[in-house]
């Protein structure tokens, strides 16, 4: 292995370990809350309200919403991990440790994205375990499930980094999750099938990228989806490519991190 | 000997239109201990920022050890260690982790980085603090942590941007000894500081930057030789009341036992002492009132400012 590749692998490992240690060190803030929040979702929407709702696509309501709720947790925590870590590094200026080093931009991007993905996976696993307290899960298409979880984590980790690059205050890192991610998640078919909506709103829903992710996840777990699986993966692929390239250009140019 | 740093035509204009550097040319020889001085806002930090890839230049070329920063950024960065003016580490990380991680960013394996961090932390007196969070360190310890971090990859060029700002005199002296040792071992050092006696004591060559331009670039000795007049403070025993004027000495009585005297560089002080002895005044001690480099520094800056009298400090 050439020295260049080996050095970059060491740098990548360093960033990932640092990122994982960061969110595990503050697990009370990062890992515990989703377990509590999602347990409440299952109690209220699954057991209390869900028991009054008839079957959806042949599944009980709680079974129907489990994939979307797991994915919601993955989305918000992958995003939150990178946006807060990278912005924190900017704010405290320790991003300069990376910028003065020979670590290339693509390694920095990959490291932060893997860190976000790790948190997404940890939180997703915890929420899955919590859901087992309320229902039994049967995964129909494991590869689809794994692919969706990984690509979703990657997409929202990259998006978190882009947000952090442009953020100038801590307010700026909460605007996108509050005003964009949360509404899109709730309207992305987590709690309903878009077949319930009037035709016009079905078409509008198709503009929401999270709808494709949630339905791919639901197909992976339950084997049902409102969206063609190929379309979902195509959309995910395009997002990874476009956002990844954009983030890389931002880091290369030093936008928001170099004078 | 080859040059550690060769900067030509370096320009930087910030987004707000501020022209921070107006065509800086600078060379630092390999192995040198080099002072880059200038008042606040002169362009020192911008120059250092560009060398360390934290600031994007508008024009010009930066070569470190003959390698172009634009063409071989990774190779150039691996030759450089930077101790910035402001603390820029994660205060919520353990002290040793900060150094190990920095090694990792330079491609140094964790096991090796751990060994190097141990050596550096011991050298800089931080070994006992290795497991504590960086936020628990005192200001002086934080500065030493940044020095240790900058050295973990054994850089050939070390930039120290105000390394002793805000630290007590004991730690400052210990830091001087440490960086002198580093320099003796072959590491080229560029130092910026507001403590001019620090630059005078440590550095062999100097550049002074003002308003984005280098206004002086020479050997420290050569620069200091330009001081024509020095002011001494004499602490005496015996009344100064009867002391009249002394030819070629500009005397000022500060109080009953303290005297200030301006003396030309070529002038002997024997006449002054003889006269004091004649008057029964015993000199208990004396000191140079101002740092020589400080006098020159102020004088050079004054020369650049239109309308400022130039006779305050003769050069």
Q: Do B88 and A93 touch (CB under 8 A)?
A: yes
Q: Among B169, B189, B224, where does a domain finish?
A: B224
Tell me whether residues B53 and A6 touch, CB distance under 8 A.
no
Write down the ipTM of this complex.
0.85
The CATH number of whichever domain residue B78 belongs to comes to 3.40.50.300
Which residue in chain B is spatially nearest to A98 when comparing CA positions?
B105
Would residue A158 count as lying in a domain?
A: yes
Tell me the residue range of the domain where A127 lies: 3-253
| Residue B30 sits in the same domain as residue B89 | yes
Number of domains observed in the structure of chain B = 2
| Per-residue pLDDT at B55 | 94
Q: Which of A121-125, A204-208, B140-144, B216-220 is predicted with the least confidence, judged by mean pLDDT? A: B216-220
Residue A163 has, within 13 A of its CA and on its CB side, a CA count of 27
| Backbone CA torsion sign across B22, B27, B42, B228 | negative
Q: Nearest-CA distance from B60 to chain A in Å?
A: 16
How close does chain B come to A9, measured CA to CA in Å? Answer: 8
- Per-residue model confidence (pLDDT) at position B81: 95
Q: Is residue B298 part of a domain?
A: no
8 A C-beta contact, residue B22 and residue B207: no
Taking an 8 Å cut-off on Cβ atoms, the answer to whether B101 and A99 are in contact is no
Q: How many CB pairs under 8 A join A and B?
A: 85
- CATH assignment of the domain containing B261: 3.30.70.1560
In Å, how far is B144's CA from the nearest CA of chain A?
Answer: 16
Q: Is residue B312 one of the residues assigned to a domain?
A: no
Tell me: do B40 and B88 sit in the same domain: yes
Q: A139 lies in a domain?
A: yes
Name which of B46, B88, B110 is nearest A96 (Cβ-Cβ). B88
**Chain-centre distance of CA B189, in angstroms?**
10
Domain boundary among B184, B200, B224: B224
Determine contact, residues A119/A77, Cβ cutoff 8 Å.
yes
Instruction: Please provide the DSSP assignment of A153-208 as one string.
Output: HHHHHHHHHHHHHH--STTHHHHHIIIIIHHHHHTTTSSS-GGGS-HHHHHHHTT-
Query: Do the strands B205-210 and B33-37 form a parallel or antiparallel pair, or are they unpaired?
Result: parallel
Task: Using an 8 Å CB-CB cutoff, list chain B residues near A259.
Answer: 14, 46, 49, 54-56
pLDDT band at B112 (very low <50, low <70, confident <90, very high): very high
User: Lowest mean pLDDT: which of A91-100, A125-134, B60-69, B269-278?
Assistant: B269-278
Return the axis-axis angle of helices A105-131 and A142-166, rounded to nearest 10°.
130
Inform me whether the pLDDT recorded for A118 exceeds 90. Answer: yes
Q: What is the pLDDT of residue B309?
A: 39
The answer to whether the CB of B213 falls within 8 A of the CB of B41 is no
The minimum CA-CA distance between A256 and chain B, rounded to whole Å, is: 11
Q: Is A90 on the interface with B (CB under 8 A)?
A: no
pLDDT digits (tens, 9 = 90+) for B27-57: 999 999 999 988 888 899 999 999 999 999 9
Residue among B93, B101, B107 whose CB faces A6 most closely: B107
To the nearest 10 degrees (0 to 180), the angle between helices A105-131 and A229-253 is 140
Residues B58 and B173 in one domain: yes
pLDDT score of B277:
82
**In this complex, which of A4, A11, A93 lies closest to B105 when CB atoms are compared?**
A11
Q: Which of residues 18-47 of A touch B (CB under 8 A)?
A: 18, 21, 25
Q: How confident is the model at residue B202 (pLDDT cuts 50, 70, 90)?
A: confident
Domain co-membership, B109 together with B79 = yes
* pLDDT computed for residue B196 by the predictor: 77
Confidence of residue A160 (pLDDT cuts 50, 70, 90): very high
Contact A98, A90 (CB under 8 A): no
For B251-287, how does the pLDDT look when each residue is reduced to its tens digit (9 = 90+)?
888 888 888 888 776 777 787 888 888 888 888 888 8
> Considering the domain boundaries, does residue B306 fall inside one?
no
Q: How far apart are CA A216 and CA A71, in angstroms?
A: 10
The answer to whether residue B60 sits within a structural domain is yes
Reported confidence tier of residue B228, pLDDT bands at 50, 70, 90? low
Which residue in chain B has the smallest CA separation from A107?
B105
Is the CB of A11 less than 8 angstroms away from the CB of B106? yes
Closest approach of chain B CAs to the CA of A249, in angstroms? 15
User: Same domain, yes or no, for B56 and B173?
Assistant: yes
Q: Does residue A259 lie in a domain region?
A: no
Q: Which residues lie below 8 Å from residue A11, measured CB to CB, with a gap of 6+?
A: A101, A102, A103, A107, A111, B104, B105, B106, B107
> What number of H helices and E strands is found in chain B?
10, 14
Chain B interface test: which of A26, A93, A99, A102 (most B C-beta within 10 Å): A102
| Domains in chain A, number | 1
Query: Domain check: are B214 and B246 in the same one?
Result: no
What mean pLDDT is predicted for residues A133-145?
89
Written as six digits, the tokens of A105 are: 């931009």
Residues of B in contact with A100 (CB under 8 A): 52-54, 77, 80, 82
Q: Are residues B40 and B145 in the same domain?
A: yes
The pLDDT score that the predictor gives to residue B313 is 34
Whether A100 sits inside 8 A of B106 (CB atoms) is no
Position A258 in a domain: no
Contacts of B106 in chain A (CB under 8 A): 7, 11, 101-102
Pick the residue from chain A with its C-alpha nearest to B16: A259
Q: Which two tokens stand for residue A202?
A: 């079905």
Q: Looking at the structure, tell me whether residues B219 and B235 fall in a common domain.
A: no
Q: Locate B137 and state its tokens.
A: 């360190």
Q: Which of B54, B82, B102, B94 is nearest to A90 (CA)?
A: B54
Same-domain pairing of B235 and B165: no
Q: Do A259 and B49 touch (CB under 8 A)?
A: yes
Contact yes or no for A131/A124 (Cβ under 8 A): no
Is A168 at the interface with chain B, CB within 8 A? no
Smallest Cα distance from A245 to chain B, Å = 21
| Selected residue of B55, B104, B146 to mutate for chain A interface (largest A Cβ count, 10 A) | B104
CB B228 within 8 A of CB B314: yes
Q: Characterize B103-140 residue by residue with b for buried, 16 or more Cβ atoms within 10 angstroms of its Cβ, and e for exposed.
A: bbbbbbbeeebeebbeebbebbebeebbeeebeebeeb
Nearest CA among B63, B93, B91 for reference residue B79: B63
Q: Establish if A221 belongs to a structural domain.
A: yes
Q: Which site among B101, B145, B151, B153 would you substitute to test the A interface, given the most A Cβ atoms closer than 10 Å to its Cβ? A: B101
Radius of gyration of chain A (CA): 19
The tokens describing B206, both together, are 């100097």
In this predicted model, which residue has the larger pLDDT, B311 or B87?
A: B87
Q: Is the pLDDT of residue B116 over 90?
A: yes
In which domain, by residue range, is B93 found? 3-224
Question: How is B8-41 classified by DSSP, letter by letter?
Answer: EEEEEE-TTS-EEEEEEEEEEETT-EEEEE--TT
Looking at the structure, do residues B213 and B240 belong to the same domain, yes or no? no
Compute how many other C-beta atoms are within 10 angstroms of the C-beta atom of residue B313: 19
**Same domain flag for B270 and B185:** no
pLDDT in tens, A82-105: 999 999 999 989 999 999 999 999
B-chain CB neighbours of A8 within 8 Å are 107
Between the alpha carbon of residue B247 and those of residues B137, B311, B313, the distances in Å are: 56, 21, 20
Q: How far apart are alpha carbons B103 and B81 in whole angstroms?
A: 11
B14 contacts in A (CB within 8 Å)? Answer: 259
The contacts of residue A115 (CB under 8 Å, 6+ apart) are: A15, A16, A18, A19, A20, A22, A23, A81, A82, A85, A157
DSSP per-residue codes, A40-88: HHIIIIIIIIGGGSPPBTTB-HHHHHHHHHHHHHHHHHHHHHHHHHHHH
Q: What is the pLDDT of residue B276?
A: 82
> In this structure, what token pair is assigned to residue A111?
């490291």
Q: Mark whether B185 and B237 lie in a shared domain.
A: no
Candidates A4, A88, A96; nearest CB to B84:
A96
**How do the residues of chain A divide into helix, strand and coil, expressed in percent and rounded to 5?**
75, 0, 20
């Amino acid at each position: 292995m050439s020295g260049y590749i080996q050095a970059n692998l060491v740098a990548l490992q360093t960033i990932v370990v640092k990122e994982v240690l960061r969110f595990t060190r503050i697990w009370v803030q990062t890992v515990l809350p989703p377990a509590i929040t999602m347990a409440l979702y299952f109690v209220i929407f699954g057991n209390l309200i869900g028991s009054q709702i008839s079957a959806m696509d042949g599944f009980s309501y709680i079974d129907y919403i489990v994939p979307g709720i797991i994915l919601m947790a993955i989305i918000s925590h992958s995003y939150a991990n990178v946006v807060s870590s990278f912005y924190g590094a900017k704010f405290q200026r320790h991003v300069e440790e990376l910028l003065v080093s020979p670590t290339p931009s693509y390694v920095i991007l990959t490291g932060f994205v893997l860190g976000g993905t790790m948190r997404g996976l940890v939180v997703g696993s915890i929420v899955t375990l919590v859901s087992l307290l309320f229902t039994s899960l049967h995964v129909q298409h494991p590869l689809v499930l794994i692919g969706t979880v990984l690509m979703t984590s990657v997409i929202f980790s990259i998006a978190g980094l882009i947000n952090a690059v442009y953020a100038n205050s801590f307010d700026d890192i909460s605007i996108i999750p509050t005003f964009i991610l949360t509404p899109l998640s709730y309207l992305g078919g987590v709690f309903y099938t878009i077949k319930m909506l009037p035709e016009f709103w079905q078409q509008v829903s198709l503009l929401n990228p999270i709808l494709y992710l949630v339905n791919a996840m639901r197909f992976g777990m339950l084997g049902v989806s409102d969206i063609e699986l190929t379309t979902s993966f195509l959309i995910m692929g395009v997002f990874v490519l476009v956002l990844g390239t954009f983030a890389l250009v931002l880091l290369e140019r030093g936008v928001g991190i170099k004078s | 000997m080859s040059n550690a740093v060769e900067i030509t035509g370096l320009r930087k204009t910030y987004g707000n239109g501020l022209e921070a550097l107006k065509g800086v040319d600078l060379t630092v020889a390999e192995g040198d201990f080099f002072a880059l001085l200038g008042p606040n806002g002169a362009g020192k930090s911008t120059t250092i920022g560009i060398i360390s890839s934290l600031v994007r230049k508008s024009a010009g070329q930066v070569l470190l050890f003959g390698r172009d920063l634009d063409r071989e950024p990774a190779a150039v960065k691996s030759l450089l260690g930077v101790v910035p003016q402001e603390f820029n580490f994660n205060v919520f990380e353990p002290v040793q982790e900060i150094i190990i991680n920095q090694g990792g960013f330079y491609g140094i394996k964790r096991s090796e980085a751990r060994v190097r961090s141990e050596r550096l932390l011991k050298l800089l007196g931080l070994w006992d603090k290795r497991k504590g969070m960086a936020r628990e360190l005192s200001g002086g310890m934080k500065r030493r942590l940044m020095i240790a971090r900058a050295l973990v990859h054994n850089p050939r060029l070390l930039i120290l941007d105000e390394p002793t700002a805000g630290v007590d005199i004991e730690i400052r002296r210990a830091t001087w000894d440490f960086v002198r040792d580093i320099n003796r071992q072959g590491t080229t050092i560029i130092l910026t500081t507001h403590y001019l006696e620090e630059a005078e004591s440590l550095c062999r060559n100097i550049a002074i930057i003002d308003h984005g331009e280098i206004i002086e670039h020479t050997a420290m000795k050569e620069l200091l030789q330009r001081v024509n007049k020095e002011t001494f403070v004499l602490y005496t025993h015996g009344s100064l009341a009867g002391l009249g004027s002394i030819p070629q000495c500009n005397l000022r009585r500060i109080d009953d036992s303290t005297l200030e005297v301006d003396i030309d560089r070529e002038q002997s002080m024997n006449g002054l002492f003889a006269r004091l002895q004649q008057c029964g005044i015993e000199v208990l001690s004396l000191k140079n009132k101002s740092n020589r480099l400080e006098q020159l520094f102020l004088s050079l800056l004054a020369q650049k400012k239109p309308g400022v009298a130039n006779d305050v400090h003769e050069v």
